[in-house]
């Protein structure tokens, strides 16, 4: 049900899902709405700036710890330690959201010309490609932010409650982005095709990748999947992460989570798997990672019935949410999605999800009074092979693409 082929079809369909821009007669209305929104953002920014306590004798470098004193209502800090408050600027554009699947650790297993190889070529990137993309984004000023910091529920001047973009203060020159990883479940089909086996804690208590090499050797490493790679990258480059934000981990439930078989049905080993995954989840949360529902059974929300979708969503809440804690974020499988006016959307909201993420090559957000929908860039083989122009703000696709990809899969 989560075969790459099906994903191929659905992801293409999804490209047409994101609602298009308004036109003609609605332009004037749109301008008025924009002015109101901008006024709201400016007003909120002023409130935030009022909370900024500028040190009495402020000369940046000497005060690293306390100097960095932009404080949010919840006591959260903004910006990397040492950023003087006057170097923080309000970011008002829609925030880019990019997603990956778990990485191809062993290309020889992914690109072995079996029936799934083409799917791996289309929807996955290799470790080398991921490292190059992240390095490029860092060089160009990108900085990870928490998805919960880019949207909020608030009342407008007339008291009408609506979801909206949350004012985001960024260090000057930095561009915010959200990172997400779909299907961090390490399904058997992924493991068989060159993805690592599961996330574990290494000897230092940090999240790491447990894997069996093609030669049959099992080991714990930090360089073969996204979580440890990003953790180490941020350690080296703290200014790649705002407020210690890391990525958003999208989980289904039907094969368990993070490589642990925690599903309920016909699974006598469930309790021991839960005990094993608990400390890993705890460490991920401590180190800035967030979780999202990616449905329970990886069904297409647009296609299955309302009742089936509701029971699938509830099943995720029953089986997965107790492991990772509550989340307001839902990532549609297959980059599919439902309209905000669809009863299915209301159902998601009623079960606690207020940000629904789909796929589309732009930073797109739609806000309503009950929740929000947004799109995510797919950084994968298709993007690297054929969409280098649209992703050129992030990386040079020609410089990133791994020569290990089979030439046979290159469209003529
Ligand atoms: Zn998926």
370 Cα–ligand 1 center, Å: 25
CA of 192 to the centre of ligand 1 (A): 17
267 C-alpha to ligand 1 centroid (Å): 23
Compute, in angstroms, the gap from residue 337 CA to the centroid of ligand 1: 13
Q: Where in the chain are the domains? A: 4-50+92-409
Domain 4-50+92-409 homologous superfamily, CATH: Glycoside hydrolase/deacetylase (3.20.20.370)
What's the order of all strands across the beta sheet hosting 218-221? 198-201, 207-212, 218-221
Say how many Å lie between the CA of residue 377 and the centre of ligand 1. Answer: 14
**Alpha helices (H) along 294-336:** 306-319, 321-324
Among 164, 170, 173, 177, residue whose Cα is nearest residue 41: 164
Which H or E element spans position 248? strand 248-251
Q: For position 389, what pLDDT does the model report?
A: 97
Q: Which pLDDT does position 411 carry in this prediction?
A: 84
Ligand 1 centroid distance, CA of 116 (Å)? 15
> Looking at residue 82, what is its pLDDT?
59
Q: What pLDDT is stored for residue 362 in this prediction? A: 94
Query: How far, in Å, is the centroid of ligand 1 from the Cα of 332?
Result: 8
Distance 158 CA to ligand 1 centre (A): 40
pLDDT one-digit tens code per residue, 317-373: 999 999 999 999 999 999 999 999 999 999 999 999 999 999 999 999 999 999 999
CA of 13 to the centre of ligand 1 (A): 15
Query: Residue 297 C-alpha to ligand 1 middle, in angstroms?
Result: 10
Q: pLDDT value at position 47? A: 39
pLDDT value, residue 83:
64
Q: How many A from CA of 265 to the centre of ligand 1? A: 21
Strands (E), 7-157: 88-91, 96-100, 142-144, 151-155
d(CA 91, CA 21): 21
Choose among 186, 195, 183: nearest CA to 105. Answer: 195
Any idea of the CA torsion for 125, 126, 131, 136, to the nearest 10 degrees? Answer: -40
Q: How far is the CA of 96 from the centre of ligand 1 (A)?
A: 19
How many whole angstroms separate alpha carbon 189 and alpha carbon 115? 11
What contacts 379, CB < 8 A, 6 or more positions away?
A: 98, 99, 100, 125, 133, 391, 394
pTM above 0.75, yes or no: yes
Interval between CA 68 and ligand 1 midpoint (Å): 39
185 Cα: distance to centroid of ligand 1 (angstroms): 10
CA of 117 to the centre of ligand 1 (A): 17
C-alpha 232 – ligand 1 centre gap (Å): 25
Mean pLDDT, 10 residues at a time, over the chain (412 residues)? 40 34 46 54 42 29 26 40 74 96 98 96 98 98 97 91 94 96 98 98 98 97 98 97 97 98 96 98 98 98 98 98 98 95 97 97 95 97 97 98 94 79
Smallest CA-to-CA distance from 169 within 302, 285, 78 is with 78
Q: Please give the distance, rounded to the nearest whole angstrom, from the Cα atom of residue 138 to the centre of ligand 1.
A: 26
* Contact (Cβ atoms closer than 8 angstroms) between residue 376 and residue 356: no
Name the residue among 340, 335, 348, 344 with its Cα closest to residue 366.
340
* Rounded CA separation 346/189 (Å): 33
């Amino acid at each position: 049900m989560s075969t790459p082929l099906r994903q191929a079809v659905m992801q293409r369909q999804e490209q047409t899902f994101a609602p298009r821009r308004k036109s003609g007669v609605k332009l004037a209305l749109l301008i008025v709405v924009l002015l109101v929104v901008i006024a709201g953002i400016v007003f909120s920014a002023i409130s935030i700036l009022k909370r900024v306590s500028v040190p009495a004798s402020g000369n940046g470098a000497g005060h690293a710890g306390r100097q960095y004193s932009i404080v949010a209502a919840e006591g959260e800090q903004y910006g990397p330690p040492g950023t003087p408050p006057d170097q923080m600027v309000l970011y008002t554009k829609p925030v880019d959201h990019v997603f990956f699947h778990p990485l191809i650790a062993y290309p020889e297993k992914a690109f072995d010309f079996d029936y799934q190889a083409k799917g791996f070529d289309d929807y996955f990137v290799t470790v080398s490609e991921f490292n190059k993309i992240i390095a490029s984004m860092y060089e160009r000023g990108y900085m990870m932010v928490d998805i919960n910091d880019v949207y909020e529920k608030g009342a407008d001047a007339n008291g009408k409650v609506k979801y909206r973009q949350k004012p985001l203060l960024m260090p000057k020159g930095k561009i915010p982005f959200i990172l997400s990883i779909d299907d961090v479940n390490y399904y058997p089909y992924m493991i068989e095709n060159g993805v690592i086996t599961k996330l574990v804690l290494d000897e230092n208590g940090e999240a790491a990748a447990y894997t069996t090499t093609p030669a049959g050797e099992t080991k714990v490493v930090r360089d073969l999947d996204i979580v440890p790679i990003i953790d180490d990258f941020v350690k080296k480059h703290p200014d790649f992460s705002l407020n210690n934000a890391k990525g958003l981990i999208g989980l289904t439930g039907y094969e368990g989570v993070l490589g642990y078989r925690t599903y309920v049905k016909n699974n006598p080993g469930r309790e021991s798997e839960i005990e094993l995954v608990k400390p890993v989840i705890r460490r991920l949360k401590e180190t800035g990672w967030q979780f999202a529902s990616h449905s329970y059974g990886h069904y297409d929300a647009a296609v299955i019935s309302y009742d089936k979708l509701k029971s699938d969503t509830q099943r995720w809440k029953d089986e997965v949410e107790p492991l990772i804690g509550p989340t307001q974020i839902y990532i549609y499988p297959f980059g599919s999605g439902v309209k905000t006016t669809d009863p299915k959307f209301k159902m998601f909201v009623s079960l606690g999800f207020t940000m629904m993420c789909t796929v589309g090559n732009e930073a797109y957000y739609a806000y309503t009074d009950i929740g929000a929908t947004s799109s995510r860039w797919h950084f994968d083989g298709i993007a690297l092979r054929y969409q280098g122009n649209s992703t050129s703000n992030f990386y040079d696709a020609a410089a990133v693409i791994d020569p290990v990809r089979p030439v046979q899969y290159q469209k003529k």
